[in-house]
Chains A and B, each alone.
Chain A
Amino acid sequence: MNGIRPIIEFMTFNFSLVAIDQIINSAAKLKSMSGGQVDVPIVFRGATGNAGQLAAQHSQNFENWYANTPGLKVVVPSNPKDAKGLLKSSIRDNDPVIFMESELMYGDKGEVPESEYLIPIGTANVVKEGTDITLCSFGKMMKVAIQAAEEMAKEGINVEVIDLRTVRPIDWATIITSVKKTNRLVVLEEAWPLASISSEIAFHVSKNAFDYLDAPVTRVVSEDVPVAYAKSLLEATVPNVEKTVKAIKEVLYR
Chain B
Amino acid sequence: MSNQTANTGSAATEERFSKETYMWWYENMLHMRRFEEMSGRVYGQQKISGFCHLYIGQEACAAGAVSALKKGDKYITAYRDHAHPIALGSDPKRIMAELYGKATGLSKGKGGSMHIFDVENGFYGGHGIVGGQIPLGVGLAFAEQYKGTDNLCIAYMGDGAARQGAVHEAFNMAMTMKLPIIFVIENNGYAMGTSVQRTSNVIELYKLGESYDMPSHPVDGMSVEEVHIACEEAAEHIRAGKGPVLLEFRTYRYKGHSMSDPAKYRTKEEVESYKQKDPVQQVKATILEKGYATEEELKEMDNRIKESVKECVKFAEESPLPDPKEIFTDVYAQEDYPFVRE
Binding site for B on A (CB under 8 A): 14-15, 17-18, 52-58, 192-194, 218-221, 223-226, 228-233, 235-237, 247
**A–B pairs, 27, beta carbons within 8 Å:** A14-B129, A15-B130, A18-B166, A53-B49, A53-B50, A54-B112, A55-B50, A55-B111, A56-B110, A57-B132, A58-B51, A219-B342, A224-B339, A225-B327, A225-B331, A228-B109, A228-B326, A229-B109, A229-B112, A229-B113, A230-B103, A230-B109, A230-B321, A231-B321, A233-B101, A233-B110, A235-B324
Q: Is B256 an interface residue (CB 8 A)?
A: no
Which chain A residue shows the least CB distance to B331? A225
A236-B327 contact in complex given A17-B129, A57-B127, C-beta closer than 8 Å = yes
Which range holds the interface residue count of chain B? 35 or more
0/1 interface trace, chain B 69-106, chain A, CB 8 Å (1 if under): 00000000000000000000000000000000111000
Top 9 nearest A-B pairs (CB, nearest first) are A229-B112, A230-B101, A236-B324, A230-B109, A57-B128, A53-B49, A228-B110, A53-B50, A232-B321
Q: What residues on A are CB-neighbors of B129 within 8 Å?
A: 14-15, 17-18, 57
B102 touches A230 (CB 8 A): yes
Q: Is B291 an interface residue (CB 8 A)?
A: no
Residue picked from B50, B107, B164, most chain A C-beta under 10 Å:
B50
- In the complex, given contacts A229-B110, A229-B111, A232-B321, what are 10 additional A-B residue pairs having Cβ atoms less than 8 angstroms apart? A18-B131, A18-B165, A53-B112, A54-B114, A225-B328, A229-B50, A229-B115, A232-B101, A232-B109, A236-B327
0/1 interface trace, chain B 185-214, chain A, CB 8 Å (1 if under): 000000000000000000000000000000
Tell me, in angstroms, the Cα distance from A235 to B101 when the chains sit together. 13
A228-B327 contact in complex given A14-B129, A53-B112, C-beta closer than 8 Å = yes
Q: What residues on A are CB-neighbors of B40 within 8 Å?
A: none
Tell me, in angstroms, the Cα distance from A53 to B107 when the chains sit together. 15
Tell me, in angstroms, the Cα distance from A54 to B331 when the chains sit together. 17
A230-B112 contact in complex given A53-B50, A223-B339, A225-B331, C-beta closer than 8 Å = yes
Q: Is B323 an interface residue (CB 8 A)?
A: yes
Shortest beta-carbon distance from A153 to chain B in Å: 24
Shortest beta-carbon distance from B210 to chain A in Å: 24
Shortest beta-carbon distance from A51 to chain B in Å: 9
A232 touches B324 (CB 8 A): yes
Tell me, in angstroms, the Cα distance from A247 to B342 when the chains sit together. 9
Q: Is B122 an interface residue (CB 8 A)?
A: no
Shortest beta-carbon distance from A141 to chain B in Å: 15
A231 touches B49 (CB 8 A): yes
A231 touches B339 (CB 8 A): no
Shortest beta-carbon distance from B4 to chain A in Å: 31
Residue picked from A52, A221, A223, A229, most chain B C-beta under 10 Å:
A229
Shortest beta-carbon distance from B35 to chain A in Å: 19
Q: What residues on B are CB-neighbors of A237 within 8 Å?
A: 327
Q: Is B341 an interface residue (CB 8 A)?
A: yes
Q: Is B322 an interface residue (CB 8 A)?
A: yes
Q: What residues on B are CB-neighbors of A236 within 8 Å?
A: 324-325, 327
Which residues in chain B, 3-61, are within 8 Å of chain A measured between CB atoms?
Answer: 49-51
Q: What residues on A are CB-neighbors of B321 within 8 Å?
A: 230-232
Which chain B residue shows the least CB distance to A55? B112
A233 touches B128 (CB 8 A): no
A233-B326 contact in complex given A53-B49, A224-B340, C-beta closer than 8 Å = yes
Tell me, in angstroms, the Cα distance from A58 to B326 when the chains sit together. 19
0/1 interface trace, chain B 134-150, chain A, CB 8 Å (1 if under): 00000000000000000
A223 touches B112 (CB 8 A): no
A220 touches B327 (CB 8 A): no
Q: What residues on B are CB-neighbors of A226 within 8 Å?
A: 331
